[in-house]
């Protein structure tokens, strides 16, 4: 179930938000500690969905300013008024009485740790269970990705109704996966900016993009690993494809700061994953097999897990070459690549394979020289561009990418009557492409490469060649 917490500061505003939340949530939590003098009667009579009343004291990161007696009186009042649930912190002095005197109201007993996910989670769980709680709630802070596994394992083995989540950016994955493994509910924000705890995902995203209500046991998990991953839109694309092809699968962003921590336990959970910066090279040390093209390029952007065996691929090369071939032949054309990083490398190998006459230009000439040495092609500084004959220009530098959208990697005066492919997809049309279009060039946006390389990833993951007309970003 999706539970939306309401963090409004007045009773009336809380009711307004409850009405909005009712359209998305299965359950609603009113954080009555955010309201100065909460009118619980008014709030409870306005409910359209089952309601949790929570009144957290300041030591639990709550906002309740009154005395402990006043807080307990409000919790008792919530029970008398027929609240569906109350959330009581494990340290509450009156916990036993509240549990003993409950009637229809279910008591959630909660443990919060805003600093870490402690190693004695089982002990804390047992302590909460022994209080006679109807539902155990544990919310801890994730300092590393593997903290999520501690919490997810607890959910899997719990014989009691449990709500368990990791808070913080690194804990986001638990907010998606915990309910799929059996957590009673997951908290999701009404909208961005209305979170009651760090890391909450908007309810609409959880419901309509991740489709957490539609995922059944035995699901496959895929994802993107990288740092940062927050700007990547792959999860929108893949989850939409899973829906359209009716696959019981989910695609999640994993913010991987520490690849070793990730590699210890996550790959076995995943059926496959995409890799972005900065892990495309390092991931190669964690694999059982590497496709010959990826080996040649020296970077892996796709990993498939077949029965525990991890194989790495590079779909940047195939995606980019397919994109260019959609507009022009490559054989015997004069191709200039700007940049000599990971993307340049993948595309350069593809251009040589297709018989293009390649020159690599880069700000750091030594890097261009090194790559050109491997490929036996020409190289030089970016300023050489104006001297060169170019039929196909490919920008693989990050110049022109958001937020520096006003910049171009070379002077656009010389970009005329050629095919211009910018691998940048944010923005979709860079200054380079805009100017090239004015100068009678055929232009190709990075979004096309993104789509083609993602289609190839989807095929490797699922065996299905997707119809790229179904792609939505």
- Each residue 413-432 as x (binds ligand NAP by CB under 6 A) or -, in order, gives ----------xxx-------
Separation between Cα atoms, residue 294 and residue 345, nearest integer Å: 11
- Each residue 295-334 as x (binds ligand NAP by CB under 6 A) or -, in order, gives ---------------------x------------------
Question: In the structure encoding, which two tokens stand for residue 196, read together?
Answer: 């009651």
Q: Is 161 one of the catalytic residues?
A: no
Q: Is 150 one of the catalytic residues?
A: no
**433 lies in the binding site for ligand NAP (CB under 6 A):** no
What's the start-to-end Cα distance of the chain, in Å? Answer: 26
Closest residue to ligand NAP using C-beta atoms: 341
**340 lies in the binding site for ligand NAP (CB under 6 A):** yes
**359 lies in the binding site for ligand NAP (CB under 6 A):** no
Segment contacting ligand NAP (CB under 6 A): 37-45, 225-233, 284-292, 357-365?
357-365
Q: Is 112 one of the catalytic residues?
A: yes
Count Cα atoms within 13 angstroms, Cβ side, for 294. 22
Query: C-alpha angle with apex 234: 233 to 237, nearest 5 degrees?
Result: 95
| φ, ψ of residue 64 in degrees (nearest 5) | -70, 125
Q: Is 334 one of the catalytic residues?
A: no
Work out which of 399, 410, 419, 436 binds ligand NAP, going by CB under 6 A. Answer: 399
**367 lies in the binding site for ligand NAP (CB under 6 A):** yes
Q: How far is the CB of 295 from ligand NAP (least distance, A)?
A: 18
Question: Strand locations in 326-426, DSSP E?
Answer: 334-338, 357-361, 378-380, 392-395, 419-422
Number of residues that bind ligand NAP (CB under 6 A): 25
Q: Give the CA distances from residue 32 to residues 8, 36, 185, 190, 360, in Å, rounded to whole numbers and listed in that order.
A: 9, 8, 19, 16, 62
Q: Give the CA distances from residue 412 to residues 184, 246, 408, 432, in Å, rounded to whole numbers and listed in that order.
A: 57, 46, 7, 7
Segment contacting ligand NAP (CB under 6 A): 33-41, 55-63, 164-172, 445-453?
445-453
Peptide bond into 257 cis (omega under 30): no
- Compare residues 79 and 303 and give the one whose CB is closer to ligand NAP: 303
Give the residues lining the site for ligand NAP (CB under 6 A).
277, 316, 339-344, 362-364, 367, 396-399, 401, 409, 423-425, 446, 449-450, 453
Write out the catalytic residue numbers. 112, 137, 280, 316
């Amino acid at each position: 179930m999706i539970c939306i917490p309401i963090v409004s500061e007045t009773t009336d505003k809380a009711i307004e938000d409850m009405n909005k939340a009712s359209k998305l949530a299965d359950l609603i939590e009113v954080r009555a500690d955010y309201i100065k003098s909460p009118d619980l009667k008014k709030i409870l009579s306005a409910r359209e969905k089952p309601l949790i009343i929570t009144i957290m004291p300041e030591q639990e990161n709550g906002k309740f300013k009154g005395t402990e007696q006043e807080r307990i009186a409000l919790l008792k009042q919530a029970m008398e008024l027929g609240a569906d649930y109350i959330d009581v912190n494990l340290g509450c002095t009156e916990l036993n009485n509240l549990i003993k005197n409950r009637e229809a109201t279910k008591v959630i007993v909660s443990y919060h740790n805003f600093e870490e996910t402690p190693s004695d989670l089982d002990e804390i769980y047992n302590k909460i269970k022994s209080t006679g709680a109807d539902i155990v709630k544990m919310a801890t802070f994730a300092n590393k990705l593997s903290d999520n596994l501690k919490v997810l394992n607890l959910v899997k083995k719990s014989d009691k109704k449990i709500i368990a989540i990791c808070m913080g950016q690194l804990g986001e994955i638990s907010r998606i996966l915990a309910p799929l493994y059996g957590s009673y509910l997951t908290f999701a924000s009404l909208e961005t900016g209305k979170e009651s705890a760090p890391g909450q995902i908007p309810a609409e995203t959880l419901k309509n993009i991740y489709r957490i209500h539609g995922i059944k046991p035995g699901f496959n998990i895929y994802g993107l690993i990288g740092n940062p991953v927050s700007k990547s839109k792959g999860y929108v694309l893949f989850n939409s494809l899973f829906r359209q092809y009716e696959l019981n699968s989910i695609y999640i962003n994993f913010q991987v700061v520490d690849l070793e921590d990730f590699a210890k336990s996550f790959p076995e959970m995943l059926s496959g994953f995409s890799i972005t910066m900065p892990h495309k090279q390092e991931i190669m040390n964690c694999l059982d097999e590497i496709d010959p093209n990826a080996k040649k390029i020296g970077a892996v952007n796709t990993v498939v897990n077949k029965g525990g065996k991890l194989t790495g691929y590079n779909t940047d090369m195939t995606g980019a070459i397919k994109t260019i071939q959609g507009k022009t032949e490559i054989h015997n054309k004069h191709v200039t690549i700007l940049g000599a990083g990971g993307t340049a490398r993948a595309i350069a190998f593809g251009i040589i394979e297709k018989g293009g006459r390649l020159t690599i230009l880069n700000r750091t000439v030594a890097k261009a020289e090194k790559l050109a040495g491997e490929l036996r092609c020409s190289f030089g500084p970016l300023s050489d561009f104006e001297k060169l004959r170019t039929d196909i220009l490919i920008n693989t530098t990050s110049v022109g990418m958001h937020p520096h959208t006003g910049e171009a990697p070379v002077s656009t005066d010389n970009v005329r009557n050629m095919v211009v492919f910018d691998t940048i997809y944010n923005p979709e049309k860079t200054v380079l492409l805009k100017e090239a279009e004015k100068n009678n060039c055929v232009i190709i946006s990075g979004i096309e490469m993104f789509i083609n390389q993602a289609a190839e990833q989807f095929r490797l993951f699922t065996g299905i060649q997707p119809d790229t007309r179904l792609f939505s970003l």
